[in-house]
Structures are given as C-alpha cells and as structure tokens.
Amino acid sequence: MDKIRIGIIGGGLRSNILRPCVGREDLELVAMAEPHPRENAWYAPLVGHGLEITPDYRRVLDRSDIDVVMVMSPDYLHEEQARAALASGKHVYLEKPMATTIEACDRVLEEAASSGKELMVGFNMRYMTMFETMKRLIDEGAVGEVKAIWVRHFVGKGDQAYFHSWHGTRANATSLLLQKGTHDLDMIHWLAGQYTKKVVAFGGLDYFGGDMPNDLTCTTCDQKDHCPEFSASQRVQCVFRKEIDVEDNQVVLLELDGGVKASYMQCHFTPDYHRNFVVIGTTGQIENSELEGTVRLTPRKGLPTTIAVNVEEGHWQADQRILEEFWATVREESQTPIDPWAGRMSVAAGVKAAESMREGGMVKMIPPRQAYQTAPA
C-alpha cells in the first residue's frame, strides 16, 4: 500500500495527534466527521484542499477511498462508531477507553473478529520512554517475579480535563476509572503480564459537584472573580453543577489472574500532576518519578540504581510512536502489537471497580472471557 487514506471521527482535542500526518507522502487525510467544527481548529487549513468535513460519521464510512478510520469521539460513542467502521471494511484505531461497558467492549471485539480488520486501542502510555524502560527491566528479570504493583495518580488538572466538561456524568463516562484510569489499569496489566480477576474499591465525590445549575458556565457566572475553579478555556461548564455524579477520589484494590496484588489511587483535586508506579518482585523493586525524570531500581540485596529518562518524550511523542506502529500494521497487513483484548480488560477492571465503590466496597469478579484467549501483549 503506497498511501494510507485516513478517515477521522471526532475533531476535538485528541484528533490533534494527526497533525503530523499533514503533508506526508505516505498518508492522506481524506474526510472528518465533526458535528461541531471549532474555530481555528488544527484542520481548518485543510478545508478546501481535499479534506471533507461532515457532521455525519456515516458519510465517512461510506467512502470507498478510505483505508482506516480513527475514532476520536467521546467515550459513549465509541462502541457504535467503532463497530460501524469495522463493518464498513475499514481498519480502526480506537481512542481509549474501548467503550463504557464490558458488554459494549465484547461487541466491538466480535465485530473486529468477524470483519477481519485490525483494531488497535490507543494505549499510548506503552510507548512512553519511562514506562518502556520499566517494562524492559521487568522482562529482563531485574525484580524477579512480580508480586505487587502500587500506582498513585495525582490528577492535578482534573477540573480542566474532566469536571468542566461532559466527562462529569456517569451517563457519559460511566466512571473516571475508565476515562482516566483505563491507561493506568492497562499499565498494571502490561507490567505484570496478567489481567485483573477481582476488584474492590472505595471512592466518593469529595470536592467537585454541588448545587449549581447544570447550564451554568464560568464565563457567565457572577462568582467567577472569586471561584477557585474558574476556567477561561474551551471547557467552561461549572465544576460544582448538580449533574456531576462521577467520583473525584477513589482507591482500588485488584487481584490479578496470576496472583499479583495491585493498588490504584486516583484523585482529581491534587495540586500537582504525575503518575507514580512501584513494581515489587521477589528480588527487588522498580519505581518511576515523573517529577524527577527517573526510574529507580532497588534490589533486595545491593545498592539502588537510578536511570535518567527524558521526560520530554511523553504523551505527544508516544502518540506519534503508537501511530507509526498502527500505520505499519496496516501496510504490512499484520496483527496490531497491542492485543485488543487488553482494551476490554482495562474497561472491565474500571467498570467493576466503579460498581464496587457504589455498592459499599463489595468484591466484584471480572466476567470470564468469551474470546481472544491470548496473554497480554
């Protein structure tokens, strides 16, 4: 295939990762479905130069000159649009999370299997240098047999990213253990080489939410000069509005199918932003520091080793690297390097954890596999 022709569903923030595709001889942006075109969007210069923009994603899928579809829309649309894209004979790159329910994920996987087309979930954290380094050391046996994983996610931008926008309701997102946590839950699975078997969780809406009108925006609020959460960005819904019902502070305990015990903590009103992973094995442990740009390996017997990592090789660079893997998969007609089942299992862990914390901390089992009987990629 000399040139991969690309259709895009969703022209919001995540579609920005396709900007480097513009002008490449081996890639062509053909059409985009976006019901709310934004002023000064990155793709605006392409209008009139071959890029069709339509409010109806089906129009993109009906085009016979498109090879792959990038589903970059809000989470609650993922199942419908990914299934339709696969059924139309297109390869699909699906932004995480795969869907907002376990059943929806299973239907997407069934469609991928029956269509014969490749489905790749956008787990770009696997391509971040820091976490690649941790994975390499673990696979080389640097900590022995993995027994425990501890993860703390300080979401210091939780207001801007989630509570000023559509993410703040269960109807749209199910839980932020999916929208935000699906990356971290996948990383737990990836680093351990195991999937979650059962979970228990506790959480609450401890800061955001409240009694403000659902249609209130920061720019029209008479308290904007005094509100600590005032936003002048594109996302301006009041973070204290009544409809918000997803937790902003949560703790999850997981037991994986190979015996690894894991903990995951996520808070959306911390003053800083970073992820802290600790992987403990029979002969040592490994821990990252995004703030210091290091990976620290500490053996049970001996002196620790600190590895400096280029923290600038983060989210954006990982997006470009995972896309290059996807383009290679399409060109070579090979299997994606990330098993799509991983997308289902991270959602399953998040969904069941959300159920647990909303039912007083009941232990929840992950539903058994129906297909894709493979180990974590």
Report pLDDT for 312: 67
pLDDT digits (tens, 9 = 90+) for 50-83: 899 999 999 999 999 999 999 999 999 999 999 9
Report pLDDT for 234: 80
298, 137 Cβ separation under 8 angstroms: no
Pairing between β-strand 261-267 and β-strand 274-281 as defined by DSSP bridges? unpaired
CA distance 128 to 225: 39
Q: For tokens 């703030």, what's the residue?
A: 291
Judge whether residue 376 has pLDDT over 50. Answer: no
CA distance 353 to 202: 8
Query: Domain residue spans in the chain?
Result: 4-123, 125-208+244-324+340-365
Report pLDDT for 369: 65
Task: Tell me what the mean pLDDT of segment 114-129 comes to.
Answer: 95
CB atoms near residue 151 (< 10 Å): 22
Report pLDDT for 232: 87
Token code pair at residue 54:
């339509």
pLDDT digits (tens, 9 = 90+) for 8-48: 999 988 899 999 999 899 999 999 999 988 766 889 888 87
CATH 3.30.300.130 at 125-208+244-324+340-365, yes or no: no
DSSP 337-366: SS-THHHHHHHHHHHHHHHHHHTTS--EEP
Instruction: Give buried/exposed letters for 299-315 (b at 16+ CB in 10 A, else e).
Output: beeeeeeeeebebebbe
pLDDT digits (tens, 9 = 90+) for 294-316: 999 999 988 899 999 876 667 88
Task: Tell me what the mean pLDDT of segment 339-361 comes to.
Answer: 97
322, 122 Cβ separation under 8 angstroms: yes
Report pLDDT for 37: 80
Torsions phi, psi of 358, nearest 5? -85, -5
- Kindly state which CATH superfamily the domain 4-123 is placed in: NAD(P)-binding Rossmann-like Domain (3.40.50.720)
CA distance 305 to 297: 5
pLDDT digits (tens, 9 = 90+) for 100-119: 999 999 999 999 999 999 99
Report pLDDT for 251: 98
Q: What is the mean pLDDT of the chain?
A: 93
pLDDT digits (tens, 9 = 90+) for 243-264: 999 999 999 999 999 999 999 9
Report pLDDT for 159: 82
Residues 6+ apart with CB under 8 A from 99: 75, 78, 79, 82, 105, 107, 108, 347
Task: Tell me what the mean pLDDT of segment 227-256 comes to.
Answer: 94
Judge whether residue 372 has pLDDT over 70. Answer: no
**Structure confidence at residue 161 as a pLDDT band (50, 70, 90):** confident
Amino acid at 87: A
Residues 6+ apart with CB under 8 A from 186: 96, 123, 125, 126, 342, 343, 345, 346
Report pLDDT for 333: 87
Q: For tokens 């080389």, what's the residue?
A: 140
**3 state DSSP class of 164:** coil
Residues 6+ apart with CB under 8 A from 285: 143, 278, 279, 297, 298
pLDDT digits (tens, 9 = 90+) for 78-99: 999 999 999 999 999 999 999 9
CA distance 180 to 150: 17
Report pLDDT for 373: 43
